[in-house]
Amino acid sequence: MLHLRLIVPSSRTGEVTTLLDSTVGTAHLVVLPGAARDPEGDVVMCDVAREAADELISGLRGLGLDEHGAISVEDIDLSLSDRGHQAEVDAPGEGVDAVLWESLADATHEESRLSVTYLAFLVVATMLAACGVMLDSAILIVGAMAVGPEFGPLAGVCTALVHRVPRLALRSLTALVIGFPLAMLATGGFTVLMDALGLFSKKMYEQPHPVSEFVWQPDLMSFVVAALAGIAGMLSLTSSKSGALVGVAISVTTVPAAADAAMALSYGDFHATSGSAQQLGVNLLGILVAGTLTLLGQKAFWSWKRRRPARAAKA
């Protein structure tokens, strides 16, 4: 269940309560006349089943509450109520499958910014991956994958394509197009520094690396794994299973590929540089294609799901 807290202009409270009453999956409606001060108006609260929330929020925005009032949504960790349980039963679909498009857009908006924190995580992850490749350490490579923040902008591009939001697409692409080259440039300098300190060497880099050689050897399996990670990543963002993002992060070879491309270029190994760059491109493309198709599938599924009660009512 989700809890909605609304600030409603007094002239529209009747419309809002009518919408809440008529929405299948709502419960615990509370109206506090004149309680809001900034902006002025009434405070209206209710609980709604997650699977019914997206359509309800769209209806509230259609009444102009996002412009002339406020819409706040928060998760309910525990709700003990027969009425609330019945609302979840009445709402179509399962809550875990529900997609809150407004929440997704807000999350990707925050995660897709080219911020100092984003760049710091990406640079650190790429440097950590460079250490993992040089030492042929699976643990370090997996750790670098988990630290990498690149899935946020990738999800932002997918969301922007589905919702046709050019500004979100531009912001997300900017984070990727600027972030990865800067991280690779920093990792190249890091490689030169580590080489000067005697911790890295060209001889170490040219030795066989059976654990990490997949980083600069892209193939069809790379695209398959990236596509599966893209599907899992978008499902974790749109559902309540956000913990699955950690598994997604350690499934793709974006950060390790960027790190190896920078190291290979530092040592003049253009063949490995090309292979790593291709690996990076294949993984980014696989995630973008699969993530976008996943969102389109979810959008079509919920459109069909919402039409079913209407057809049943007509029957």
Give the model's pLDDT for residue 192: 96
Q: Is the pLDDT of residue 247 over 80?
A: no
pTM > 0.75: yes or no: yes
What would the two tokens of residue 239 be? 């559902």
What would the two tokens of residue 225 be? 């794994």
Where is pLDDT greater, at 126 or 102? 126
Q: Which residue bears the tokens 């997609």?
A: 99
Amino acid symbol at 232:
A
Q: How far is it, in rounded angstroms, from Cα 107 to Cα 100? A: 11
Q: Which residue bears the tokens 């389109």?
A: 296
Q: Where is average pLDDT lowest: 143-147, 178-182, 239-243, 311-315? A: 311-315
Question: Do 228 and 251 meet the contact criterion of CB atoms below 8 Å apart?
Answer: yes
221-233: pLDDT as tens digits: 999 999 998 898 8
- H-only helix segments in 197-219: 202-206
Where is pLDDT greater, at 236 or 307? 236
Q: Is the pLDDT of residue 32 over 70?
A: yes
What would the two tokens of residue 208 be? 């066989």
Q: Average pLDDT for residues 290-299, to the nearest whole number?
A: 91
Give the model's pLDDT for residue 311: 44
Percent of the chain with pLDDT over 70: 91
* 314: helix, strand or coil: helix
Q: Average pLDDT for residues 194-220, to the nearest whole number?
A: 92
Amino acid symbol at 135:
L
Q: How far is it, in rounded angstroms, from Cα 224 to Cα 230? A: 10
Nearest to 145 by CA among 255, 266, 296: 255
127-173: pLDDT as tens digits: 999 999 999 999 999 889 888 899 889 989 999 999 888 888 999 99
Q: How far is it, in rounded angstroms, from Cα 40 to Cα 125? A: 47
Question: Do 290 and 227 meet the contact criterion of CB atoms below 8 Å apart?
Answer: yes
On the CB side of 153, how many CA atoms lie within 13 Å of its CA?
Answer: 23
Neighbour order of strands in the sheet with 26-37: 26-37, 40-48, 2-8, 70-75
Percent of the chain with pLDDT over 90: 59
